[in-house]
Amino acid sequence: MSAETVTFYRLFIGAVLMGCFLLVTGQKDKVFTWPGIKVLVTGAFLAGFVVFYVMAMNYTSMANAVMLVYLASVTAATVAHFFMGERLSGTSTALIGVALFGFAMMMEFNVNLSGRKEEAVGLFYALCAMLCYAAFILTNRLIHERVHVLTRGGFQMLAGALCMLPFMLQQGDSIDAGQWGWLIAAGVVPGFLAIMFAVVALKALPAATFGTLAYLEPITVVALGWVLFNQSLNTLQLCGSALIIVSGVTQAVLSQRRLRWACSEVS
CA pair distance 83, 99, nearest whole angstrom: 23
Closest CA to 239 of 110, 101, 111: 101
Q: Which residue has the higher pLDDT, 259 or 248?
A: 248
In this predicted structure, what is the pLDDT of residue 215? 66
Do 140 and 199 touch, CB atoms closer than 8 A? yes
Q: Which residue has the higher pLDDT, 57 or 218?
A: 57
In this predicted structure, what is the pLDDT of residue 263? 64
In this predicted structure, what is the pLDDT of residue 262? 65
7-11, 118-122, 257-261 — most confident range: 7-11
In this predicted structure, what is the pLDDT of residue 144? 84
* pLDDT band (50, 70, 90) for residue 243: confident
CA pair distance 221, 182, nearest whole angstrom: 18
The pLDDT of residue 233 is above 80: no
In this predicted structure, what is the pLDDT of residue 193? 87
The pLDDT of residue 120 is above 70: yes
In this predicted structure, what is the pLDDT of residue 249? 73
In this predicted structure, what is the pLDDT of residue 12? 94
In this predicted structure, what is the pLDDT of residue 114? 57
* pLDDT band (50, 70, 90) for residue 210: confident
In this predicted structure, what is the pLDDT of residue 238? 80
The pLDDT of residue 160 is above 90: yes
Q: What is the mean pLDDT of residues 143-149?
A: 83
CA pair distance 1, 9, nearest whole angstrom: 11
User: One-letter amino acid identity for 105?
Assistant: M
Q: What is the mean pLDDT of residues 38-49?
A: 93
CA pair distance 139, 30, nearest whole angstrom: 20
In this predicted structure, what is the pLDDT of residue 206? 73
In this predicted structure, what is the pLDDT of residue 98? 85
CA pair distance 100, 58, nearest whole angstrom: 24
The pLDDT of residue 4 is above 60: yes
In this predicted structure, what is the pLDDT of residue 156? 92
In this predicted structure, what is the pLDDT of residue 178? 84
